[in-house]
Amino acid sequence: MRAAANGQPVISAQDLRKCYGDFAAVDGLSFEVQAGESFGLLGPNGAGKSTTMRMIGGVSQRTSGTLAVMGLDPDDHGPEVRAHLGVVPQQDNLDEELKVRDNLVVYGRYFGLPLSYLRPKADELLEFAQLSDKANAKVDSLSGGMKRRLTIARALINEPRMLLLDEPTTGLDPQARHILWDRLFRLKESGVTLILTTHHMDEAEQLCDRLIVVDKGRIMAEGSPAELIRRYSTREVLELRFGSQRNTTAVDELRGIGDRIEALPDRVLIYARDGEAALEEATLRGLHPVTSLVRRSSLEDVFLRLTGRSLVD
């Protein structure tokens, strides 16, 4: 367990478990999150990320283990814990019956906040989310990116100390994603603790100081993105395509190049410290791939190595 850097961790989970009947959605997670940290949960679908988020907010009761959020047990103090949380769910659940600005104000009322605070705050957040000109529009008329920004703005209405983001940019176009990342980065700078789940590795690399890789409800690895790449992958990756017939036979001839070779149906991956050198070695052995590509190792390589390549649904 990491030593607490600056006093009490804001989240402390020990052996957290959630079962639905015989099925353990979350199976013994232990982690701590420090104030101001940006913490990621990575994992394939069904890994237990969203369930963990719901337990942190006290809307899903854990089966066993201990959990403290800002020193309180969310199962016993749901309302108090959530008073300091901002929640961005996986699917937008904006109030379609209310206009854009009313969505923010009414949501703030759920925290018991006075209108004198909420009116200017709503305008400020619309500005932040670049939605000021949509204040009186219907939610229905917003684009996917706008809805997402509104959902994030809504989660900030109570000036939360901690923001829970469940796949914040899934389904958005690149422009919208970059705008969102920018906004999240500013929040982090202002000291808000971010907890986010994602299966976009670039997002995790952009936003997370530290992350855990979760699969089947268990922690597979923990560390900063750079640490994880160092520990579970090589510096570079060489991707070779020989045509789907030849990939497997080529593997035998490539043996010994790089640290590790992975044969996929459509290509062969060679994990090496120096990708160009590996490519030269392959050419020297008389192999002529249809295409070749040398790239930096990414969190995606770590993720696939830890959670496997087969589909999980």
Does 85 help bind another protein (rule: CB under 8 A)? yes
Output the smallest distance, CB 13 to another protein, in A.
15
Output the smallest distance, CB 55 to another protein, in A.
10
Does 19 help bind another protein (rule: CB under 8 A)? no
Does 125 help bind another protein (rule: CB under 8 A)? no
Please tell me the distance from the alpha carbon of residue 122 to that of residue 106, in angstroms, as a whole number.
Answer: 10
When the beta carbons of 63 and 224 are compared against another protein, the nearer one is 63
Look at the chain and count its residues.
313
Output the smallest distance, CB 115 to another protein, in A.
10
Does 73 help bind another protein (rule: CB under 8 A)? yes
User: In this chain, which stretch among 96-104, 117-125, 184-192, 303-311 interacts with another protein, using CB under 8 A?
Assistant: 96-104
Please tell me the distance from the alpha carbon of residue 14 to that of residue 181, in angstroms, as a whole number.
Answer: 30
Output the smallest distance, CB 98 to another protein, in A.
6
Does 168 help bind another protein (rule: CB under 8 A)? no
Does 159 help bind another protein (rule: CB under 8 A)? no
Query: Parallel, antiparallel, or unpaired: how do β-strands 11-20 and 23-33 relate?
Result: antiparallel
Q: Which amino acid is at 276?
A: E
Q: Is the dihedral of CA 169, 173, 176, 177 positive or negative?
A: positive
User: In this chain, which stretch among 109-117, 127-135, 209-217, 265-273 interacts with another protein, using CB under 8 A?
Assistant: 109-117
Output the smallest distance, CB 83 to another protein, in A.
4
User: In this chain, which stretch among 57-65, 183-191, 220-228, 236-244 interacts with another protein, using CB under 8 A?
Assistant: 57-65
Q: Is 112 exposed, middle or buried (0-12, 13-18, 19+ CB in 10 A)?
A: exposed
Q: Is 128 exposed, middle or buried (0-12, 13-18, 19+ CB in 10 A)?
A: middle
Contacts to another protein by CB under 8 A: 54, 57-61, 68, 71-73, 75-80, 82-83, 85, 87, 89, 91, 93-99, 102, 106-107, 109-112, 154-155, 158
